[in-house]
Amino acid sequence: MTLTTHAVTGAVIAKLMAGNPLLGLFLAFCSHFILDAFPHWDYPLKSHNEDKKNPLDSTMSINGHFVKDFLNVSMDGMLGLILSFILVSQLEFNAYILGAALVAQLPDALQFVYWRVRREPLTSLQKFHIWIHTKNKMRNMKWVSISAQALFILLVTASFWANSYPLAQLFR
């Protein structure tokens, strides 16, 4: 999944769990792995060196592609935070919602840390992330997957709005 999808999902979960923020943050973190279990397209990272025989030996090279990959990942992550701010926080700054959006993106960021550090608890987290992540990468279905993720974001936020706002009750 894209970081945008993870962030908005985490923000919605946090908003729904506002009465129990620690549980909300935990569920936002867990949502990352649940979403990654579904077939989806991930944009390629050309600086990522995947070891198909032993995925734990995969790494990230700091090469000519790294800057472009870093910018793509950064833009994706920022888009998720901006959409969370617009769709979930209703343009009001909310540190909890922002934190949940970031926590939902965190497992992917921790992969970068793992590729450099390779110590516990990062090793166990990386094993779990690899295990739960779908093997169906939808490589030839980029636009179908992007459209599905956009639709998912719309459905998640629409269901949140429908259950959270009195004005939305008028449209039921």
pLDDT confidence of residue 87: 87
pLDDT confidence of residue 77: 96
pLDDT confidence of residue 171: 42
**Domain locations in the chain as residue ranges:** 3-169
Q: Is 48 helix (H, G, I), strand (E, B) or coil?
A: strand
pLDDT confidence of residue 147: 87
Tell me the C-alpha distance between 158 and 143, whole Å: 22
Consecutive 10-residue runs of the chain (172 residues): their mean pLDDT?
94 92 97 94 84 86 90 96 89 90 97 93 96 84 84 83 54 43
pTM: 0.86
pLDDT confidence of residue 109: 95
**Neighbour-count burial for 51-73, b at 16+ CB within 10 Å, e otherwise:** eeeeeeebebeeeeeeeebeeeb
Structural contact between residues 24 and 18, judged by C-beta atoms closer than 8 angstroms: yes
Tell me the C-alpha distance between 53 and 45, whole Å: 19
pLDDT confidence of residue 32: 97
